[in-house]
Amino acid sequence: MVGFVSFVGSGPGDPELLTLKAVDRLRRADAVLFDDLSSGPILDHVNPSADLVGVGKRAGRASPKQDHVSRLLVDYAKMGGRIVRLKSGDSGLFGRLEEEMIALRRAGIDYEIIPGVPSACAAAAAAGIPLTRRLTARRVQFVTGHDASGQLPPDMNLDALSDPAASTVLFMGKRTLPLLTKALFKRGLSPETPAVLAEAVGTNEQAITRSTLGALAAQMEAGVGTKPALVLYGPLADMDAVEAD
């Protein structure tokens, strides 16, 4: 009998941010294929008898290719049982979800998608700021900082990304931030634009740095470190300053 796959969004890493449905699927799973950022204490919810298979991909490290991950997922599902594909954040945001869904469909395997807390929302919460602000930030945009080759995507909508009235969240963009900001500043975005670097959100290594976009770009040019991170920039509220006003 062919198995059933649950794509589970694990949130940013804090097991307390898992949904009840996510915990249920982990407890009932016969096998869990998990990303690096979905490991650690989140896996404590998994049935002890389940197979645990690490399939995470991290920039700058040896990682399994996406076609290998998709093929492995299909192979496990063909053996039957309940399979969980555990992805960090929300699996529909820069999580290669579509490719794995296509592989399952072609193999005739049913699946469900269980949303998770997006890392962008968790980062804003950790920084104590809203992503939207009445009158000054009516639009939020999520964008990846690199393409499949690890480089800055050549077709980015730079006009939209330099909009001073939009809150922008840059995923996987530490290495390409210096190059991106040079293009944005040429289009008129101020280097003094408020920015937040949110590293390892939802883990014991979480670090939140409030800065400006120009200063963060200079910091990344000097060295990016190894922690996974998001960059948020735009009309971000400094709540202490707002309260003082």
Give the active site residue among 24, 30, 36, 57. Answer: 57
Please state the three-class secondary structure of the chain as a single string.
Answer: CCCEEEEEECECCCHHHCCHHHHHHHHHCCEEEECHHHCHHHHHHCCCCCEEEECCCCCCCCCCCHHHHHHHHHHHHHCCCEEEEEECECCCCCCCHHHHHHHHHHCCCCEEEECCCCHHHHHHHHHCCCCCECCCECEEEEEECCCCCCCCCCCCCHHHHCCCCEEEEEECCCCCHHHHHHHHHHCCCCCCCEEEEEECCCCCCCEEEEEEHHHHHHHHHHCCCCCCEEEEECCCCCHHHHHHC
Give the active site residue among 14, 35, 90, 163. Answer: 35
Per the annotation, the verdict on 57 as an active-site residue is yes
Per the annotation, the verdict on 35 as an active-site residue is yes
Q: Would you please indicate which residues are annotated as catalytic (active-site) residues?
A: 35, 57
